[in-house]
Structure 1
């Protein structure tokens, strides 16, 4: 078992999730149950799946949860691009968020590959 609070990927994804909550608070009210909700759910799913995977006793199980976390990151990227298309976030903010997501995905993929090879 791993201690999720010690994992850099969990720390970064948790920070990103709180940032997404701040950003979506400024979305139009009509997005409360739409894009805003979807982005928030995907952002929470990312650190949550990392944490849940840490509780698994096998590397194979943990690896599966990391795979799900990566899927949530790609889901977030798509939703952020849509938010940009709709004018809810600007280009600079989008680039920072996408770069953060890319970093998390790369780190998670690399960590996942070490679990699979064991």
Structure 2
């Protein structure tokens, strides 16, 4: 593996972040500093933390950043659920993103397990 960009989990997290930006681009302007900002920050934090941990070149640091990415992923899921509950978006729009998030979470857990075993 030459780069974090070769990691499937990073690629999937990048796709999810782009999908979140697409979902939120037409949200109400009064949410720009509220939920829109929070959900975008959480979404971009996932691939950013995967990349940052990889760049540390230290297994302990890498594991810590992967765990931070997991936390950001759960934060993102929560924001998506809130957006549906308050009527900013539909359950139909949120469901595929939650499914993607679940897949990324499984990939992250697998990567963490493999690194922790070494």
Instruction: State TM-score, norm by structure 1.
Output: 0.96
Matches within 5 A, 1:41-56: 41-56=41-56
SS at match of 2:53: helix
Separation in structure 1 between the aligned mates of residue 83 and residue 57 of structure 2, nearest angstrom: 38
The correspondence of residues 60-99 of structure 1 with structure 2, limited to 5 A, is 60-99=60-99
What is the number of equivalent residue pairs in this alignment?
A: 118
Unaligned runs of 5+ in 1: none
TM-score (norm 2): 0.96
1:57 Cα deviation from its structure 2 partner: 2.0
- Native 8 Å contact 1:2 1:55 kept in 2: no
Cα RMSD of the aligned pairs, angstroms, is 1.2
Which residue in 2 is equivalent to 1:104? 104
Deviation digits for residues 6-39 of structure 1 (CA, Å, limit 9, x no counterpart): 0001000001101111111111110000000000
> Which contiguous aligned blocks of 4+ residues in structure 1 show a shift greater than 6 angstroms?
none
